[in-house]
Amino acid sequence: MIQLEKALARAGIYPVRTGSETLPLEDTPGRVLAEDIFADRDIPPFPRSTMDGYACRRKDLPGPLVVLETIEAGKLPVHDIGRGRCSKIMTGAMVPSGADCVIMKEDVETGTDGRILFTAVETEAHIDSRGQDLKKGELLLPQGCCLTPGHLGIIASAGKTRIKVARALKVGILATGSELIEAGQHPEGAQIRNSNSYQLAAQIRRAGHLPYAMGIVEDRFESIAERITMALEGTDLLLLTGGASVGELDLVPGVLKELGFRLEFDRVAMQPGKPVSFAHRENKRCFGLSGNPVSSFVQFELLVRPYLEICAGMLPVNKRILVTLEKEYRRKQADRQFFLPVTFTGGGACEAVEYHGSGHLHALEKATGFAEIPAGQKIVNKGDKVHVRLI
């Protein structure tokens, strides 16, 4: 059994090589940027009014001032501002030369002769100076950042509408278990619906990759070997669920070995999710995840997703926040790092959701994160802070 960080580091030695692909900007949220993006001009590109009002010289205030023109956003000013002069200006318009402030239109009275008078005591500049955010040629976004809507705005502002991102990986999902039937089928007797494949597909998609659900295979050594061999064709990474533990019918690690894979680990010191393996052979990579739905979920979030991030060259992002636990939490065994499903209660606090163990998928209904309780710690007192990973 190895620690989670060690397991991830070991798997990370054998990444899937993603390479990059060029996509239309609108198709890239959630993807990992594979090029640096630079500012193609100063931002803002010209001194810009942040208010509707009058561009003028501070030393001429309170006026009265002659109004020279109206400058709309997108128009070039015609006149410079000299003594006793001003120009009406709109938010986002270019501030004319000579002006050092924009007085707000709410602070202005217009006299009968058309000249304006500043009625407030003082004013801020209300001007964004040219290049105050970034200078032309400066780095806007570094390679490796995971793209958010805000990032897309930044890239569009630099005039790029096609960008390089890490290639989306084809991730196969093969569910093992003789009790399993497809979710759309009617279960008889002791049959169980295959929910993991849907859950994992959604997790893969959320991580910016392409899921390929490859059905169910019964708990028979030869069948599993055959289906793994088929599933490896045309996929970059294969996720198996079920049969990952040490029971008589937990065949997956054995099959992987038989197929010539090298197992880097087959147990990780985490709860839920201890039985989990990572295997590689030439350019093929597999994770053997638990059948238990909560375990499989947690294993994906804590191991597979970070692994995919390594493959894509993603820069590290902190996904944990420190939150107060509202009620005391106790556990009997503390040999593994524990991930407790929690929900936020507001005011920087969280509480455990009802959780009966790794088969209790319904616990995920209300969970908004997993609180990490370190190995060795049996009690978290009411009011103690815990690290919560958002899901």
Using CB distances below 5 to 8 A depending on partner kind, what does residue 350 bind out of Mg ion, ligand AMP, none? none
253 is a contact residue toward Mg ion (CB under 5 A): no
**Total residues at the site for ligand AMP (CB under 6 A)?**
18
Residues in Cβ contact with 367 at an 8 Å cutoff, skipping those fewer than 6 apart: 341, 342, 343, 353, 391
96 is a contact residue toward Mg ion (CB under 5 A): no
293 is a contact residue toward ligand AMP (CB under 6 A): yes
Q: Which of residues 197-256 bind ligand AMP (CB under 6 A)?
A: 241-245
Which residue is associated with the tokens 């009620």?
Answer: 327
177 is a contact residue toward Mg ion (CB under 5 A): yes
Applying CB under 6 A, which of residues 20, 195, 345, 368 lies at the interface with ligand AMP?
A: 195
306 is a contact residue toward Mg ion (CB under 5 A): no
Using CB distances below 5 to 8 A depending on partner kind, what does residue 215 bind out of ligand AMP, Mg ion, none? none
Give the span between the Cα atoms of 326 and 4, in whole angstroms: 27
Residue 104 near residue 126, CB atoms below 8 Å: yes
From residue 284 to residue 303, the character string flagging contacts with Mg ion as x (rule: CB under 5 A) and all else as - is -------x------------
From residue 158 to residue 177, the character string flagging contacts with ligand AMP as x (rule: CB under 6 A) and all else as - is -----------------x-x
Contacts 24+ apart (CB under 8 A), 6-13: 7/264, 7/265, 7/268, 7/276, 7/278, 7/303, 8/303, 8/306, 8/307, 8/310, 10/264, 10/265, 10/278, 11/264, 11/278, 11/287, 11/303, 11/307, 11/310, 12/307, 12/310, 13/264
Q: Based on CB atoms, which residue is closest to ligand AMP, 87 or 290?
A: 290
Q: Based on CB atoms, which residue is closest to ligand AMP, 261 or 297?
A: 297
Report strand pairing: 170-176 vs 210-217: parallel
Which residue is associated with the tokens 């998928």?
Answer: 361
Binding site for ligand AMP (CB under 6 A): 175, 177, 179-180, 192, 194-196, 241-245, 290-293, 359
